[in-house]
Amino acid sequence: MGFEEIIGHEKQKNLLLSFLEHERMPHAFLFSGQDGIGKKKTALEFVKHIFCEHRNGCGTCKACIRIDRGNHPDLIILSRQGSEGSIGIDLIRGNDEKKIRGINQEIYEYPYESEKRAIIIDGADSLTREAANALLKTLEEPPPFNIFFLITASEEEIPHTLRSRCSRVFFTALRQEQLKRYFTDVLRLDGAQAETLSLISHGSVGAGIFWLERDNLQMRNRLVELITGKHKGFLNTTLLSERITRTGDGVTVYLSFLLSLFRDIFVLNVSGDSSMIINRDIRDILELERVDLRWIEESMKRIQETIRIMRYNVNKWLIFENLLLHIMRHA
């Protein structure tokens, strides 16, 4: 795995490489952009370039291999923890009682093997307010041998003060043909499957991999049947909501799918042109008679609202079920 194997993001990769050449590295980066498009992967590859014995992320030297195996002593990765899915103050400030060493303690020690230490905060929007405040002081003036990567799909939820200390690199969604190339070249899928996945994944490799799981794709079809009112009888909103929310972060993939579903129903209803829809593999279920446009509009509003609420510590199962009850078609 090297930089060249990360599909797309050419501008972003070139920008990062130019920092390496000019030796004027920002001490903190903010990698922003939707989930599943390769932000963390890009950060890891970049760290490899910095730590690599040959300075090119060769993939074969000791440093590169240790990064790949996830056991390089100078690479720290923080991510959401626990049921509330946040990054708490202990991880930043440390907690002697719980024997947790915090980032703010770590950064004053010299790196063990490399010239620099890299700290990746994956899901930086989930830093608690206290944690963000504690980190802010650190980011103001960290010892020079540290480099931070804050990674997020919800940039606006990171305090502005924290963001402004970072060099922002924005990652855009992958284009459909880039995704398709990923599915055929890297995952070795056949053309038809790659085509379908590249359409329904909204520019995200992560979403594509999620839909590759047969259970997830089947649940997507159950969901459509339930919402459109087709094939009634053997479905149950409670059970379906439980199964969908059990996929954890997958629930956001289902929610963006629901948005695309209503968009498709709208397009089909208004133009009748099925070549313009996203979910082409299920087009026959989407052809509905006498569609009420208010139903589409109100459902989309509710889905967007649910996407917003789901970011917080809430009972996802209940919220998802409540959504389904409101957007099911009662024709």
Quick check: 307 and 255 in contact, CB under 8 A?
yes
Looking at the Cβ atoms of 59 and 85, the one nearer to Zn ion is 59
Looking at the Cβ atoms of 52 and 87, the one nearer to Zn ion is 52
Least distance to Zn ion, CB of residue 2, Å = 10
Looking at the Cβ atoms of 26 and 59, the one nearer to Zn ion is 59
What is the β-pairing status of strands 167-170 and 28-32?
A: parallel
In sequence order, the β-bridge partners of residue 150 are 30, 121
Looking at the Cβ atoms of 60 and 313, the one nearer to Zn ion is 60
Least distance to Zn ion, CB of residue 45, Å = 11
Least distance to Zn ion, CB of residue 10, Å = 22
**What is residue 57's three-state secondary structure?**
coil
Give the C-alpha separation, 211 to 216, whole Å.
Answer: 6
Least distance to Zn ion, CB of residue 4, Å = 14
Give the C-alpha separation, 44 to 156, whole Å.
Answer: 23
Quick check: 157 and 125 in contact, CB under 8 A?
yes
Q: Is residue 101 exposed (0-12), middle (13-18) or buried (19+ Cβ within 10 Å)?
A: middle
Least distance to Zn ion, CB of residue 20, Å = 13
Looking at the Cβ atoms of 67 and 303, the one nearer to Zn ion is 67
Looking at the Cβ atoms of 60 and 304, the one nearer to Zn ion is 60
Percentages of the chain per state (helix, strand, coil), in multiples of 5: 55, 10, 35
Looking at the Cβ atoms of 61 and 235, the one nearer to Zn ion is 61
Closest Cα to residue 131, out of 87, 190, 176, 170?
87
Least distance to Zn ion, CB of residue 61, Å = 3
Q: Is residue 235 exposed (0-12), middle (13-18) or buried (19+ Cβ within 10 Å)?
A: middle
Looking at the Cβ atoms of 51 and 262, the one nearer to Zn ion is 51
Give the C-alpha separation, 170 to 275, whole Å.
Answer: 31
Phi, psi of 23 (to 5 degrees): 55, 20
> Which residue in the block uniquely carries the two structure tokens 């899928």?
189
Least distance to Zn ion, CB of residue 53, Å = 5
145-184 burial by CB neighbour count: b if 16+ within 10 A, else e?
Answer: bbbbbbbbbebeebeeebbebbeebebebbeeebbbbbbb
Looking at the Cβ atoms of 64 and 199, the one nearer to Zn ion is 64
Least distance to Zn ion, CB of residue 60, Å = 6
Quick check: 298 and 211 in contact, CB under 8 A?
no
Quick check: 28 and 21 in contact, CB under 8 A?
no
Least distance to Zn ion, CB of residue 64, Å = 3
Phi, psi of 291 (to 5 degrees): -80, 130
* Residues at the site binding Zn ion, with contacts judged by CB under 5 A: 52, 58, 61, 64
